[in-house]
Amino acid sequence: MAEKFLEKTYGCETPDATRAHYDRWAATYDAEIAENGYATPARCAGALARQLNDKSAPILDFGCGTGLSGVALAAQGFTCIDGIDPAAGMLAEAEKRGLYRKLIHIDPGSDLPGAPGSYAAIAAIGVIGVGAAPPEVMDQIAAALAPGGLLVFSFNDHALEDSDCAAKRDALLANGTMRKLEESYGDHLPGIGLNSSVYVFEKL
């Protein structure tokens, strides 16, 4: 039987441990996640499609993993998607899908590719919070968007309960960096009883 990784995700405490975790999980990630009914990518992609009419606009899939988020974006008609991720094993799986314009290996916390404003939207789907990227990446993402640029992201129940994640989300709104266009709460991984909130923010 294949080793299971999902529950171990929420115990990763450092960037190195997180990267090693996803590298070990890469080959079986899609199957284990599908078994648990991973619903957030389709919810995020649907939310972005409601807010961004130009489906040929460049989108950055931040923390693209094996590309399930890219698949959901492509299913909504988006045609120009770049992916970045610190786990080389996950990126190798994403490469096999043949749907990304570019896939880029990044160090956690490093600058995002391209000049500010290169992307009409940045998607961080299933990425921010306990077991993945820290909430500070939201500052980097906001800085990489031009005014009018969109951020679609999800917080699962663990991230919603994390005061640092909630504080970063709320600060971006309160300090006038971004405004909220959409928020909805629903299924994340119903197989383990986990929900998520999906948000679309616009850079001001």
Residue (122 or 137) nearer to ligand SAM, CB: 137
Cα separations in angstroms, 19 against 48, 85, 133, 141, 162: 27, 9, 10, 20, 21
Regarding beta strands 59-62 and 121-124, do their DSSP bridges make them parallel or antiparallel, or are they unpaired?
Answer: parallel
Residue (80 or 204) nearer to ligand SAM, CB: 80
Burial class (CB in 10 A: 0-12, 13-18, 19+), 30: middle
Query: What CA–CA distance (Å, rounded) separates 2 from 49?
Result: 36
Residue (125 or 178) nearer to ligand SAM, CB: 125
Least gap, CB of 134 to ligand SAM (angstroms): 7
Residues in the site for ligand SAM, rule: CB under 6 A? Answer: 18, 22, 41, 62-65, 68-69, 85-87, 90, 108-109, 125-127, 132-133, 137
Residue (167 or 174) nearer to ligand SAM, CB: 167
Tell me the residue number closest to ligand SAM, measured at CB. Answer: 65
Residue (18 or 197) nearer to ligand SAM, CB: 18
Least gap, CB of 133 to ligand SAM (angstroms): 3
Residue (161 or 174) nearer to ligand SAM, CB: 161
Least gap, CB of 125 to ligand SAM (angstroms): 4
- Got the DSSP string for 122-164? EEE-S-BSTTSB-TTHHHHHHHHSPTT-EEEEEEEHHHHH-HH
What contacts 163, CB < 8 A, 6 or more positions away? none
Least gap, CB of 201 to ligand SAM (angstroms): 17
Least gap, CB of 36 to ligand SAM (angstroms): 12
Query: What CA–CA distance (Å, rounded) separates 79 from 136?
Result: 28
Least gap, CB of 22 to ligand SAM (angstroms): 4
